[in-house]
Amino acid sequence: MLENIKNEIVDVADFPIPGVNFKDISHLLKSKHFKEAIILMGEKVAIPDYWIGIESRGFIFASALSMHYGGGLVLCRKKGKLPPPKIALDYQLEYGTDTLEIKPGQGNAVIVDDVLATGGTMNAAEQLASNAGYTVTDKLVLINLKFLNSDTSVKSIIEYE
């Protein structure tokens, strides 16, 4: 099952900039193996009250996990995309800052995204979710690019060393 999923992920050299090897998941999303990926991801964690999807591709995986396993969906959005009430957090990027926003709430939550690269956005989402009242029980991604991060603990079904 895992090999089928890996075969649907296509490497795109020099995208979006020279030197970056982009992991294109669009082939997986349109294949029958997408459901297999969701099942394997969900088996990695205890089913939470909420799946928190990070904009934008995290929405896809968090939504599917919510539909398959149960639990609500919470969106972790970029600045200016949520109406009030909302909680915001500014965080540091490699070349500047960004802002994430989330609706306040309570309950156990798993933060979900498609790929973990450096971990900055995932770490910010975890802090934001905690600030907003959620108890973060896990962080989950389809792909962990382990060679780019060292201080973010996540669960994944695919790892690239």
Catalytically active residues are 57, 94
Residue with tokens 């009030």: 84
Give Cβ neighbours of residue 112 (< 8 Å, ≥ 6 apart).
41, 51, 52, 53, 54, 58, 61, 62, 65, 139, 140, 141
Residue 150 is which amino acid? S
Q: What is the DSSP letter of 90?
A: E
Q: Which residue from 40, 43, 38, 46 is spatially nearest to 109, judged by alpha carbons?
A: 46
